[in-house]
Amino acid sequence: MPDSAPEPKDLNLGPVTYLMSPSGGRYPDGNSILVEGERESVLIDPAIGLNTRERALPRVDRVLHSHCHEDHIAASHLFADVPWHFHSLDLPGITSLDAMMAIYGLGGEVEAGFRNMIVETFHYQSRPDPTAFEDGDRFDLGGVTIDVIHTPGHTRGHCCLMIRWKDAEGERSLLYLGDIELTSFGPYYGDAWSDLEAFEHSLAKVREIDARHYVTFHHVGALEGQRAFRERLDRFAAVIPQREARLLDFLRDPHTLEEIAEHRFVYRPGDPVSFIDCVERRSMAQHIERLLREGRVRETEPGRFTAASGRG
Ligand SMILES: [Zn+2]
């Protein structure tokens, strides 16, 4: 295929290969991770791009998933003969398409369209027999280990994975962050199975984890050292209070949740994604709940909110 663009080079870090997608891991694609031990090889989060990868796919003994979302399972079906692992809380999503749709909780016409897309674009294939892992579980591949760190918020069962090995320089470590994606978009907590405050706790938790390398599924690439990681993480986390501050500003006049969703605090106005309204509503409802609890927002009449210091 001489006319096709050259595929990006994978990044090799000891037994870890970061399988770079041609788009740099931009949604709907992502960068999967292959970990090759002396006894076993594990693939983490098989991305959609693996379906058309020209280079040979690796032989793997099991597939680990940071969480059950469409873009993280989009090439799992290529490895149908080996065990698929998820955190127990996200496990139901892979057992049936209905269970998968419950994670998003879209409803109505939007759900029907997204349901089709998950099957046709993302190659969703249910598995009756997925395997659960829990926080603190360890996979020993021989000379390299993978530890599960439960970091809920994006989904209930979202996990980061800490990979450790030794080389001539001594202990090496890589923290795979899944969809704690460190992008300028900021944290995503707009699904039925998302939780804003759980996400905030998870951000604080990973901030304390010291590793040599940090990688995400989407297009940030590999970061070296905790200092570089914390800089990116702090900018990513800051999007949450920025959304909240913009919301409080908007609520100087009373507004309903529908009006808040229409105004757009998560996506940019005009972003053409079918499920935006639902995601905006669910994301910002969690901010409203928190602000009501803290007395910084009040409900002037049923379903209409205003900043405590605002008009109305
Ligand atoms: Zn996700």
How is the beta sheet containing 138-140 ordered, strand by strand?
138-140, 144-150, 159-167, 170-176, 213-215, 222-224
pLDDT tens digits along 198-216: 999 999 999 999 999 999 9
| pLDDT at residue 2 is higher than 50 | no
The torsion region of residue 182 among left (phi > 0), alpha (psi -120 to 50) and beta comes to left
Looking at every residue in the chain, the average pLDDT score rounds to 93
Q: Which residue has the higher pLDDT, 25 or 243?
A: 243
Interval between CA 202 and ligand 1 midpoint (Å):
14
Interval between CA 67 and ligand 1 midpoint (Å):
7
Q: What pLDDT was estimated at residue 142?
A: 98
As given in the structure block, the two tokens for residue 41 are 């090889």
Q: What pLDDT was estimated at residue 159?
A: 98
DSSP 217-251: SSTT-EEEHHHHHHHHHHHHHHHHHHHHHHHHHHT
The residues, any chain, with a CB within 8 Å of residue 160's CB and separated by 6 or more, are 66, 149, 151, 175, 176, 177, 178, 180, 206, 209
Interval between CA 60 and ligand 1 midpoint (Å):
23
Interval between CA 45 and ligand 1 midpoint (Å):
10
As given in the structure block, the two tokens for residue 56 are 């040979």
Q: Which residue has the higher pLDDT, 220 or 180?
A: 180
> How far is residue 174's CA from residue 152's CA, in Å, rounded to a whole number?
20
Interval between CA 158 and ligand 1 midpoint (Å):
8
Q: Which residue has the tokens 């693996």?
A: 50
Interval between CA 178 and ligand 1 midpoint (Å):
8
The full length of the chain comes to 312
Interval between CA 68 and ligand 1 midpoint (Å):
7
Percent of the chain at pLDDT above 70?
A: 96
> How far is residue 200's CA from residue 152's CA, in Å, rounded to a whole number?
9
Interval between CA 109 and ligand 1 midpoint (Å):
21
Q: What pLDDT was estimated at residue 105?
A: 95
Q: What pLDDT was estimated at residue 169?
A: 87
Q: Are the C-beta atoms of residues 256 and 302 closer than 8 Å to each other?
A: no
Cα distances (angstroms) measured from residue 249 to each of 135, 162, 297: 39, 40, 11
pLDDT tens digits along 93-136: 999 999 999 999 998 888 999 999 999 999 999 999 999 999 99
